[in-house]
Chains A and B, each alone.
Chain A
Amino acid sequence: MTDGTRSRRGDEAGRFAALLLHDVGKYIARTARNVQGQEWTPELSAMLCRDLFEMAGGRASRVFEERAKPIEMLIGAQPDLEQVRDLLSQIDSLESAVRQGEPDALGRAGQLAREVEAALRAFARTLQEGTP
């Protein structure tokens, strides 16, 4: 692969990473980053469920897969994305308890959502600085 091709792929991957941050990272933590150490009211719990499981385009893990696919096609498997995939699978495993409003599950899912946002933000910044 020439340097020019590598650079174009890196630029394109950076654009897709920004999209991934916008569509998943920003929205998944919409509620969670503002409810730390506070009570999860029914209104807040319902909004968290929408952030995690009812995003525009489906559950966060599904939207993530759609947005991550072109990045991995351009620059190969990325450990940072694997980490996010694992966080999202943990969130999915909590769905039933979160929907039932169990406080521990809500707190844990919120923590995981904040970690997803932070990881995707760091990944997007890394790609903007140069393809890993």
Chain B
Amino acid sequence: MRRLLVIEDGSEYAEFARLFLGHDFEVVAARSAEESLHALETQSIDVLLVDLRFDRAPLEMLAGNIEASAERLFAGDRSRALRHLQDQQGVLILSALRAAGHHQTAVFVHEFPARRLANLRRLYGEVRAVPSFDAKALRRALGADA
């Protein structure tokens, strides 16, 4: 059976995947970039399902540097930088995984504007997005029939 790595700060995605995608995938869960890298380095993972927004993760578990983001993007405003890291955490984790050489298809449950999705593909290769928790659409995006 193919193995799906679910990356999120809660348990909603993994619960959904086990219940609605469990016939197609063995589900493995990770809560941070570090845990995701560990999973990818110790198990054979076929595809990634990634949450975008991590507003429940402890600060020390977030990928990205608040101080550097504040200086570079928000004129030193640390609170806006933190919000940015939380809002875009899934993409930051994906960036870290790609940098470490893991190029599995990544699927987000999010309605990205077309230009944003095209940009993500340019930066990170095979990236797909499904706007809602639609099991049929997610099965297709995750390549369950492949």
A-side residues, CB < 8 A to B, are 21-23, 25-27, 29-31, 33-34, 43-44, 47, 50, 56, 117, 121, 124, 128
Whether A30 contacts B111 by the Cβ 8 Å rule is no
| B134–A33 touching, CB < 8 Å | yes
Task: Determine which of A22, A29, A117, A124 lies in contact with B53 in the assembled complex, contact meaning CB atoms within 8 Å.
Answer: A22
Contacts A44-B19, A47-B15, A121-B131 aside, 7 further interface pairs with beta carbons under 8 A come to: A26-B109, A29-B132, A34-B134, A43-B19, A121-B111, A121-B132, A128-B113
Are A47 and B133 in contact (CB-based, < 8 A)?
no
Pairs of residues from A and B, 3 with the lowest C-beta to C-beta distance, nearest first: A30-B133, A34-B135, A34-B20
| Distance in angstroms between the alpha carbons of A31 and B132 in the assembled complex | 11
Q: Does B110 contact A (CB under 8 A)?
A: yes
Are B133 and A21 interface neighbours, CB within 8 A? no
- In the complex, B16 has a CB within 8 A of chain A: yes
Would you give 10 A-B contacts (Cβ < 8 Å), ordered by A?
A22-B52, A25-B132, A26-B133, A30-B16, A33-B133, A34-B135, A47-B16, A121-B132, A124-B111, A128-B113
CB contacts under 8 Å to A, within B109-137, are 109-111, 113, 131-135
Interface of B is mostly: loop
**A22 to B8, alpha carbons, bound, how many Å?**
14
Question: Taking A30-B133, A34-B20, A121-B111 as contacts, is the C-beta distance between A56 and B10 under 8 angstroms?
Answer: yes
Q: Are B110 and A30 in contact (CB under 8 A)?
A: no
Pick from A22, A30, A33, A121 the residue with the most CB of B within 10 Å. Answer: A30
Chain B residues within an 8 Å CB radius of A27? 12, 133
| Known pairs A26-B132, A26-B133, A34-B133; A47 contacts B19 (CB<8 A) | yes
What's the minimum C-beta distance from B6 to chain A, rounded to whole angstroms? 13
Residues of A within 8 A of B53 (CB): 22-23
Kindly name the residue among A26, A29, A47, A117 whose own CB sees the greatest number of chain B CB atoms within 10 A.
A26
Q: Residue of A at shortest CB range from B113?
A: A128
CB-CB under 8 A for A21 and B10, given A34-B20, A47-B19, A121-B131:
no
Instruction: Kindly provide the distance from the CB of A24 to the nearest chain B CB, expressed in whole angstroms.
Output: 12
Q: Which residues of A contact B111 (CB under 8 A)?
A: 21, 121, 124
A21-B111, A121-B111 known; A29+B19 contact, CB < 8 A: no
Bound CA span A24–B132, Å: 11
Chain A residue nearest in CB terms to B109: A26
**In whole Å, how far is A59's beta carbon from the nearest beta carbon of chain B?**
15
Q: Which residues of B contact A34 (CB under 8 A)?
A: 20, 133-135
> Complex Cα distance A30/B19, Å?
11
Residues of B45-73 whose CB lies within 8 A of A: 52-53, 56
